[in-house]
Structure 1
Amino acid sequence: MAQRSSLAVPYEVPLLAVCLLVCVATGLELSVNNHNADFSLLTSPGPAVSLSCLVQNSSEAEELLWYRGDGQVDLKDGNKVNISNICISPVTESDNGVTFKCMLARDQSVQVSVILDVQFPPQLSGEESLHIEEDKDVTLSCNSKSNPQAQAAWYKDNTTLTLQDHYELHRTSEVFQLSINNVEMSDNGTYTCVMTYLSTEWRKDFHLIVEEAQPVFPTEAIIAAAVVVSLTILFGIVAQRDKLFKVW
């Protein structure tokens, strides 16, 4: 009788290894003047502004850094660990838009930024007199620097200025200008620069006095003629001297 045999076929069962990466969130964060995110601080020129940076949710000593723009602020010992204070005094117009940043020394991605919003009116007052000849150019310029930016306008003799072909307006964040090219006698009058800032008007008057053009002397021609006359006299003297020498 034939004996039956069975062969066991070996096989492998693949094992799937699952690697789990665990990210432990510490919850450490910074706050500046009780703000945990970037913010803008409204202020005005003069009074000092204090900024206080605090490390939150940390049981360890954390060193802090302060930056003004791209420059690091020099902090004294005792004003660097877990809490740090800086003072801007006095606040000036030039501080407007400046960014201050507090950050962790060991991880500078942990930071809070403060942008100073320094509000100030334009410095505009008084009057000025200008004498100008016909056909010359003149520019009237007034300070327009303010935050927020003021509305600007020009008036002539207390009436809104009507722009003519030879008038040009130019404005930057610093100045507001009216240029008058080839001045005419009809341009004579009082021009007023008016800045409206938060419902308040700031003014400056320019009294433009147009004078008749003075005759222009041909300076170059006069100089050339003087040179010719001088040379003629010189040659005459030399020639006369030669005659005297021949006689003697």
Structure 2
Amino acid sequence: MMMMSVSLLVLYFTTQISGLEVKSVPEVSGGFVHTELEKTVSLTCLSEPQEAELVWLRNGQLISVAAGNTWGSSRLCVTPVTKYDHAAIFTCQMKNNASVNASVQLEVTYAPLHSGKEEVSVEETRELELSCDVVANPPVLVSWQRHGDPIDLSEGSFLLTNDGVMSRLKVARVNRAVHQGPYSCVTSSPIYPNRTKSFEVTVTDKTLQFQTDLIFPMIAGLVVIGCTTLLAIVSRWKWITQCYK
């Protein structure tokens, strides 16, 4: 935490003393620009002296700007803002002196994208997996419900995983009496309303599954036997025919 505070202080201090200043709409606050998805961030870099040529970088990579947008002041727009812009650092620096620079970092907030209802059909004794998109900033709390009540993971052989991108509810072997019915994935955010994705799980009768790795050799064997028998009959018939001539 102390190292982060020092880094932010250096970033802010550099912006003030380097001869460059980055202004933003929305406004810069402590070196950060707070915004949301689909919004527009407008950055303006001002230099002293005015004749300095400026360049922009995003996370250290050079950004191409129009030739007339580099001398004395330079403007850059990020539109529309996406979740991939979160934590991106935009740096304005003098082209002939990279040590003279100023930076801001985007802080993009967004809610998870999951919503709606999904119909899921699974055969008895098969595996069931329900998934829910939980990517968000700030991170969200995730809860799974069945018939509107929190799922007890100690019952019904449920397995819950969450990698910060997808939350998954799994059942290795489905039982209609236990697992059929409505499910929901609910995310709770400190700044956005709760979001819910619903599932209606229908468990169907188990169908007979043929083992193709055994059937194909059997069919091939029967074909060989049939062909051999047919050839034997044809050969025998020719011999009988010759005897009657």
Q: Check the 8 A contact 1:96/1:118 in 2, yes or no.
A: yes
**Which string of whole-angstrom CA distances, capped at 9 and with x for unpartnered residues, describes residues 207-241 of structure 1?**
11122322334444444443333323222221122
Given the alignment of the two structures, is residue 191 of structure 1 paired with residue 183 of structure 2, yes or no? yes
Given the alignment of the two structures, is residue 142 of structure 1 paired with residue 135 of structure 2, yes or no? no
Q: CA deviation at 1:66?
A: 0.5
Given the alignment of the two structures, is residue 226 of structure 1 paired with residue 214 of structure 2, yes or no? no
Q: What's the Cα RMSD here?
A: 2.4
**Which string of whole-angstrom CA distances, capped at 9 and with x for unpartnered residues, describes residues 6-59 of structure 1?**
xxxxxxxxxxxxxxxxxxxxx652111189997110011223211111124x4x
Q: Check the 8 A contact 1:128/1:207 in 2, yes or no.
A: yes
Q: 2:228 aligns with which of 235, 241, 246?
A: 235
Q: CA deviation at 1:68?
A: 1.5
**Equivalent position of 1:23 in the other structure:** none
In 1, the alpha carbon distance for the partners of 2:28 and 2:137 equals 26
Which amino acid in the other structure matches residue 226 of structure 2? I
SS of 1:124 mapped into structure 2: coil
SS of 1:141 mapped into structure 2: strand
Q: Check the 8 A contact 1:36/1:112 in 2, yes or no.
A: no
In 1, the alpha carbon distance for the partners of 2:36 and 2:145 equals 30
In 2, the alpha carbon distance for the partners of 1:54 and 1:194 equals 46
**Equivalent position of 1:62 in the other structure:** 52
Q: 1:110 aligns with which of 100, 112, 124?
A: 100
State percent identity of aligned pairs. 25
Q: 2:37 aligns with which of 45, 52, 61?
A: 45
Q: CA deviation at 1:157?
A: 0.8
In 1, the alpha carbon distance for the partners of 2:215 and 2:39 equals 64
**Equivalent position of 2:6 in the other structure:** none
SS of 1:110 mapped into structure 2: strand
Segments of structure 1 that go 5 or more residues without pairing to the other structure are 1-26
Q: Check the 8 A contact 1:45/1:93 in 2, yes or no.
A: yes
SS of 2:46 mapped into structure 1: strand
Q: Check the 8 A contact 1:120/1:148 in 2, yes or no.
A: yes
**Equivalent position of 1:4 in the other structure:** none
- Within 5 Å, give how 1:78-93 maps onto structure 2: 78-93=68-83
SS of 2:68 mapped into structure 1: coil
Bigger proportion of residues as helix = 2
In 1, the alpha carbon distance for the partners of 2:158 and 2:61 equals 44
Q: Check the 8 A contact 2:28/2:104 in 1, yes or no.
A: no
SS of 1:46 mapped into structure 2: coil
**Equivalent position of 2:172 in the other structure:** 181
Q: Check the 8 A contact 1:130/1:207 in 2, yes or no.
A: yes
Which amino acid in the other structure matches residue 164 of structure 1? S
Which amino acid in the other structure matches residue 88 of structure 2? V
**Equivalent position of 2:14 in the other structure:** none
Given the alignment of the two structures, is residue 156 of structure 1 paired with residue 149 of structure 2, yes or no? no
Q: CA deviation at 1:206?
A: 0.9
**Count of matched residue pairs:** 220
Are residues 37 and 132 of structure 1, via their aligned partners in 2, closer, same or farther at CA, if it must alter by over 3 Å? Answer: closer
In 2, the alpha carbon distance for the partners of 1:223 and 1:116 equals 60
Q: Check the 8 A contact 2:111/2:192 in 1, yes or no.
A: no
**Which string of whole-angstrom CA distances, capped at 9 and with x for unpartnered residues, describes residues 172-209 of structure 1?**
33221111111122111211100112262100111111
**Equivalent position of 1:215 in the other structure:** 208
Q: CA deviation at 1:86?
A: 0.9
In 2, the alpha carbon distance for the partners of 1:36 and 1:225 equals 74
TM-score, normalised on structure 2? 0.80
Q: 1:203 aligns with which of 196, 203, 206?
A: 196
Are residues 241 and 52 of structure 1, via their aligned partners in 2, closer, same or farther at CA, if it must alter by over 3 Å? Answer: same
Q: CA deviation at 1:123?
A: 1.6
In 2, the alpha carbon distance for the partners of 1:152 and 1:146 equals 11
In 1, the alpha carbon distance for the partners of 2:28 and 2:105 equals 14
